[in-house]
C-alpha cells in the first residue's frame, strides 16, 4: 500500500481580484475535497478535475491543493 503525505498549507487564489494568500488545510481528500481556513474563515472546496473550488462571503476561491511532501511504499503483498 502506498501512502502520500501532504503539506498543511496551500496557496489560495481569489478569482475576483487575483490575490493569493496562504491558507491552512484540513480534511484533505486527494482529488475529492478539502477545507481551507483563512483568518478563521472556513472555506469548503471541491475538486473540479483541475483545481479545488470553493465559495465564501460572495467570493470564489481556487487552489491546486497542498504540495506532496513524501510517499511511502510497502513491499508487502
Cell 511511502 sits on residue: 72
The string of pLDDT tens digits covering residues 14-29 is 999 999 999 999 999 9
DSSP 45-61: EEE-SSSEEEEETTEEE
pTM comes to: 0.87
pLDDT at 71: 87
Query: Which burial class, exposed, middle or buried, applies to 12 when counting CB atoms under 10 A from its CB (0-12, 13-18, 19+)?
Result: buried
CB atoms within 10 A of CB 27: 11
| Residue 2, pLDDT above cutoff 80 | no
The string of pLDDT tens digits covering residues 46-60 is 999 999 999 999 999
Is the Cβ–Cβ distance between 51 and 33 less than 8 Å?
no
pLDDT at 77: 63
Domain ranges of the chain: 3-72
What percent of the chain lies above the pLDDT cut of 90? 83
Specify the pairing of strand 20-29 against strand 68-72. Answer: unpaired
Amino acid at each position: 500500500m502506498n501512502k502520500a503525505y501532504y503539506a498543511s498549507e496551500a496557496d489560495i487564489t481569489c478569482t475576483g481580484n487575483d490575490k493569493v494568500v496562504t491558507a491552512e488545510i484540513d480534511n484533505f481528500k486527494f482529488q475529492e475535497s478539502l477545507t481551507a481556513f483563512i483568518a478563521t474563515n472556513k472555506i469548503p472546496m471541491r475538486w473540479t478535475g483541475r483545481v479545488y473550488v470553493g465559495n465564501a462571503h460572495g467570493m470564489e476561491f481556487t487552489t491546486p491543493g497542498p504540495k506532496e511532501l513524501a510517499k511511502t511504499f510497502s513491499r508487502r503483498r
